[in-house]
Structure 1
Amino acid sequence: MIHQLLPFHPNSEELLSKTHLVMIQTNIFDCGGIAIGLYASHKIVDGLSRLTFLNSWAARARNESSKQVNPSFISSSVFPPDPSLSTYSHSNFHNHTKEKHNFVTSRFVFDHSALALLKIKAACSSTPIPSSIEVVMGLLSKSFINTTKVKYGGNKTPVLAPVVDLRSRSSPPLPPHSFGNIFCKTTLFVDDFNPELPLLVHQISDAIASIDGDFVEGIKGDDRLLKLIGPKKHLREKYSYNAESFPLSSVCRSGLYEADFGWGKPIWACLGSGDTDPYGVGNLVILMDTRSGEGIEAWVTIKEELMAIFEKNQELLAFASLNPSPLEI
């Protein structure tokens, strides 16, 4: 149903052939409600850039000049284009065969009380208390690892890939309204098919923490390709044809529910996920705030045959509601 509210279906061949930077569809319902469908090319902007655009547009509609932003288009000067990077495929961890898959999306909603309990379960005496984002990423990853074991019998290696925003991790930090694709994806190769949650959360936290100021400085230089892929090149080569990637991204705490065009803040903000894999991205997890700001809504897109196992994981369902009505969150 969400796809009908967008300018194009996410997997539309026509969309893939277009070069428009932004496309918008306004939907007005008989009840008087409004839904705004927004597409912005990922060749140009990331998720945080989209939200900056959306919230500034809404502030202009309300004539609130104090909340309008002047975006900073400095990403190409901070990270100059490097032709050598184009020779390394972003889909290196995905199955490179001609086999086609259908992908489906399910929503897993963690309320405030569930997050508090999950933090206790994931806590380790020797490490700081993990964040809500880290524990949700950890539990979803544990469920995915279990799913691949059930489906493939341990013959495929799960590769966790937390996505890290680089704006605040630069030294000095980049302006928060920097426009572009300013993020980096880390990688965790999983050999233990039954990991303990505290250990897995700790590994994810360490992977995210490794993207620090020194790392960001390193990928600005001439040896950026070595910095990005060199240390794990042998692992990439070993697993690239027999891996199941699980990228984990978050737009929590980034103003998802701040786009008030003059009639109040959104009842629900969501993503329009596809059901095929034209870009080679495949599996993908995106975390976002619930309307209250106290919970997390996880959109999990994976292969259809994996989802049939994943959404029945009892440890996951002990903390998350599966596909609840937006009015219930």
Structure 2
Amino acid sequence: MKINIISTENIKPSSPTPDHLRSYKISLLDQLAPPFYVPLILFYSADEFRSNNIDHTLISDQLKKSLSATLTHFYPLAGSLKGNAFVECDDEGVSYVEARVNIDLSMILQNPDMDLLIKFLPLDPYKMNDKGIPMSAFQVNIFNCGSIAIGVCISHQIADGATLATFLNAWSKAAMGESKTIIPSLDLASLFPPKDINVKVPSGVISEEKTVTRRFVFDATSLALLKDKVGHANPTRVEAVTSLHMENRHVYQIRKAIKKIDNDYIEKLQGDNVLEAFESKNELFESVSKKEAEMYRFSSWIRFPFYDIDFGFGKPIWACTTTVPIKNIVVLMSTKSGDGIEAWVTLTEYDMAKFEHHHEILEFVSSTEF
């Protein structure tokens, strides 16, 4: 597969950001986020283009114009991060890339190559945010068959998966010409004020060992069977998948840990004794750095409505993320049908060789074909 870059340009908000909004404080939660990007790729079939005789040139103009209009309301995405405290909303703009792919989309869907997917993104999402790297970037990839893949990267220090979904929903509605505009709430710093702290990424986050990312699909039938096998506590789909291949089925422990994020915990985050809220986390990082413990991270995106994002040429046939250079991390995403889960699992090569052939994985994972 070859991807040829056709054009690269800078898209600015269609209206300048008012002076009183030029300095956007990032919240404490943003300060604690890793200096990476949130990556997403949306694949759209050519069938919609053919049936409605949609011209790709008009699509390009429509996407750029609507992106510019949307950035007016999501103005921090077009700004510049200054240290660990605020974004200068200087309307510098976002990177917008158009590319041609020399194969048909069906070649990707038949047997998705995890290592190739990152090529549909405008940049490496796990490269540290150095000076000059935009807060957000986009790449529109056009396949030989006429299908399109839109690759999105938004800085994790001003956005998470939920923010990304809100932004894409607003952009798509603008592209469809809808009069109702989605106005985001940009006051998280008032709820979680930033602190004078210098958060460092724990050593070893970017794995020195060779990692492998695999995609495991659980359809509605296999999820029901898995929930029955877990049995107690009436587990959710996420809890059931998270507990898979765990010793003693730690569903109850998972739920108990989540419940610790209660009002008292939130008050600590909002108050002056914020370090108390991270005592256990810091202890864990210390244990991991000393190789006394192994840490696994889980992130669930299954409630995010990525499959509803319609720019005027149909809804996505696949919404996915990419490989992660961080070992022991799992990203859970919804399947197109909405009742299944895709688990994007990254482990060391040695651990993955054992994990993907474990009898429970083989028992519950369904076909990965589209």
Residue 23 of structure 1 and its aligned partner are, at CA, apart by: 0.6
Checking the alignment, whether the CA contact within 8 Å between 1:219 and 1:228 is kept in structure 2 is no
Task: Give the aligned residue type for 1:58.
Answer: S
Checking the alignment, whether the CA contact within 8 Å between 2:217 and 2:342 is kept in structure 1 is yes
- State the secondary structure of the residue aligned to 1:257: helix
Unaligned runs of 5+ in 1: 143-194
- Please, which of 301, 306, 311 is the counterpart of residue 261 of structure 1? 311
Q: Deviations over 1:281-303 (max 9, x none)?
A: 54311101000001001101122
Counterpart of 1:63 in structure 2 is 177
Counterpart of 1:296 in structure 2 is 341
Q: Which has the larger radius of gyration?
A: 2
Q: Distance in 1 between matches of 2:184 and 2:259?
A: 27
Identity value in percent: 41
Change in 2 beyond 3 A, CA 1:3/1:220: same
- Please, which of 212, 234, 240 is the counterpart of residue 135 of structure 1? 240
Residue 270 of structure 1 and its aligned partner are, at CA, apart by: 0.4
Residue 30 of structure 1 and its aligned partner are, at CA, apart by: 1.9
Change in 2 beyond 3 A, CA 1:135/1:262: same
Q: Distance in 2 between matches of 1:11 and 1:217?
A: 31
Change in 2 beyond 3 A, CA 1:39/1:283: same
Checking the alignment, whether the CA contact within 8 Å between 2:217 and 2:341 is kept in structure 1 is yes
Residue 18 of structure 1 and its aligned partner are, at CA, apart by: 4.1
- State the secondary structure of the residue aligned to 1:300: strand
Q: Distance in 2 between matches of 1:16 and 1:308?
A: 35
Checking the alignment, whether the CA contact within 8 Å between 2:335 and 2:342 is kept in structure 1 is yes
Residue 28 of structure 1 and its aligned partner are, at CA, apart by: 1.1
Give the TM-score, by structure 2 length: 0.63
Q: Distance in 1 between matches of 2:284 and 2:125?
A: 32
Checking the alignment, whether the CA contact within 8 Å between 2:327 and 2:347 is kept in structure 1 is yes
Aligned residues: 254
Runs of 4+ more than 6 Å apart = none
Task: Give the aligned residue type for 2:331.
Answer: I
Q: Distance in 1 between matches of 2:301 and 2:341?
A: 10
Checking the alignment, whether the CA contact within 8 Å between 1:10 and 1:272 is kept in structure 2 is no
1:285 aligns with 2:334: no
Checking the alignment, whether the CA contact within 8 Å between 1:256 and 1:288 is kept in structure 2 is no
Q: Distance in 1 between matches of 2:222 and 2:338?
A: 14
Residue 24 of structure 1 and its aligned partner are, at CA, apart by: 0.5
Larger RCO: 1 or 2 (CA < 8 Å, sep 6+): 1
- State the secondary structure of the residue aligned to 2:345: strand
Checking the alignment, whether the CA contact within 8 Å between 2:288 and 2:294 is kept in structure 1 is no
Task: Give the aligned residue type for 1:81.
Answer: P
1:83 aligns with 2:196: yes
- State the secondary structure of the residue aligned to 1:20: coil
Give the TM-score, by structure 1 length: 0.71
- Please, which of 127, 140, 143 is the counterpart of residue 29 of structure 1? 143
Q: How large is the RMSD of aligned CA atoms in angstroms?
A: 2.4
Q: Distance in 2 between matches of 1:74 and 1:12?
A: 28
Counterpart of 1:190 in structure 2 is none
Give the alignment of 1:3-18 within 5 angstroms: 3-11=118-126, 18=132
- State the secondary structure of the residue aligned to 1:48: helix
Counterpart of 2:290 in structure 1 is 241
